[in-house]
Amino acid sequence: MSNKIITRNPFSGEVLKEYALFNDEEIKSILHTSDNVFNEWKKKPLKNRVKLLNKLADILHDQKVKYANLISQEMGKPYKESISEIEKCISLIEFYEKNAEMFLADELIKTDARESFISYDPLGCILAIMPWNYPFWQVMRFAVPTITAGNTVLLKHANNVTGCALVIQDLFKEAGYPKGCFQNVLATHEQVEEIITNDLVKAVSLTGSEKAGRAIAKVAGNSLKKTVLELGGNNACIIWNDADLDKYLQVIVKARFQNAGQSCIAAKRFIVEDEIYDLFLEKFKKALKNIKIGDPLHSETELATLARIDLAEGVEHQVTESIKKGARVVVGNKRDKAFFEPTILTDVTPGMPVFDEEVFGPVAAIIRAKDKEHSIQLASESNYGLGTMLFTENIDKAKKEITKIEDGAFFINEMVKSDPRLPFGGTKASGYGRELSKEGILEFVNKKTVYIK
C-alpha cells in the first residue's frame, strides 16, 4: 500500500500535489495533543469560545476566492457553486455565533430539589470522517458547533480533497483557536479503526456512504462510542398534476444537477403523475439543454466533471444495468473519463439500480405514477430516508402526506437542502443523528442531570 496521497484535478487529470500519510507515532502524538488541548479548551468560558467564530467568518469571507478555487481544482465543482459553499459556511458560523450561548445554557427544570438543571458538558476529542462532495461545508457544519461546545476535533477527510483539509486546519489556527483544537489525520482505513478504538476518542461523526456507515458504526459500537451517521440518499421528487412547472422547473432541475448530481440530498427519482408526465418530460429535457457545461474554474460553468474517474464509471454501470432491465435513455449517457453527460432515463421501475440505489451523478430517473396515492407509495419504496420533495399547488393536501413520508425531511415546493437553522439528518439506511440547529450542537455533549437538595 502506498504511503502517499496524490490529489488530481478531475477535469484536466493533472496531479495537484502529493502528501505523506501519517505514521502511527505521528497519529499517537496528534491524539494526545487533542486530549491535552481539550482539558484546557473546555475550561474556557463559552462566551470566549463564541467570540472566535467572528474571526473564523472574517477569514472565510476574505479568502473565499482562494478556497473556492481549491475546491474546484480538487473535486471539480463549478466555481460559482464553490463560492456558494464558502458563503454557506459563513452563514453557519454566524448562526452559531448568535445562538450557541442560548443553546448551551443550563436548562433549569423545576423539581422537588432546591435546584435542578441539565448541564451540557463537552465530551472530549471527536473524530470526523468526511466526504469530498462538499469539502468545506460538510466539515464546518460538524466542526463549528462541536468545537464551540468545548470539544476538540480530529478530521479524516477524503483523500482527494486533502488540500482543503489542510487549509481548514490552518483556518482555525489563524482564527485564534488553540493549536490542536482542530487537527487533520492523513491516515489509512486501518489507522482510522485504531483511532476510533483509542480511549482518547469519545465519539465519531461520519458523512459518507451506507457501506462506510455500517463499517464505522460496527467499530464504534464495539467500543461503546456514540456515532452520528449522515449517509446516502435516494430522494424522491414528486410532481403532482397541479404543480406550477413554469414557476418551479428550474428548482426541480437544480435539485438533481447541482454539484453534477453528487449530493446525498439531490433529487434522484422524479415521480410524476400520469396526467402531467409528458409535459414535464418535455420541459425537463429543454431545461437540460440550457445547462452550461465546461471547465469548473470558469465562472459561467454550471456543470463540470465528477470528482474521480472511478465515480463516473460507477454511475455508468448503474445506468447500463438499468437499461438492461428496461430503462430507456432519452438524453445523455455518454462518459469521457471523469465526465458523465447529463442523462434522463424513462420507463424506470423498482428493481433497477437507478430506482433502488443512490446514483451519485447527473442522472435523472423519471417514473410515472398513476395518481397521488401511487406517487407517495413509490416515493416511500426505498431503503433510504433522507428527504422527499413534493411540488403541488394543493398545500393542504400535501401537508396531509407529511406523516406518510418516513424521511428526515419533507419539502413542499422546494428542493431538499440544509439550513443552519433546521436539523439535518435521515432515517433507515440514510443514518441517524442530526446536524445543524440546536440539535446539532447538542449531539456531542454530556446532557448531565444536576440535582441539589
Could you give the residue numbers annotated as active site? 230
Task: Name the residue type at position 283.
Answer: K
Number of neighbours of residue 388 by Cβ within 10 angstroms:
29
Give the closest residue to 169 by CA, choosing from 133, 209, 128: 128
Is residue 134 within 8 Å of residue 71, measured between CB atoms? no
Is residue 142 within 8 Å of residue 205, measured between CB atoms? yes
Is residue 285 within 8 Å of residue 331, measured between CB atoms? yes
Number of neighbours of residue 417 by Cβ within 10 angstroms:
18
* C-alpha span between 321 and 319 (Å, rounded): 5
User: First and final CA of the chain: distance in angstroms?
Assistant: 60
* C-alpha span between 224 and 135 (Å, rounded): 29
What's the half-sphere exposure (Cβ side, CA atoms, 13 Å) at 28?
3
Q: Sheet holding 343-346: strands in order across? A: 328-331, 343-346, 363-369, 267-273, 235-239, 388-391, 410-412
Cell numbers for 223: 467500543
DSSP E strand stretches across 387-443:
388-391, 410-412, 427-428, 431-432
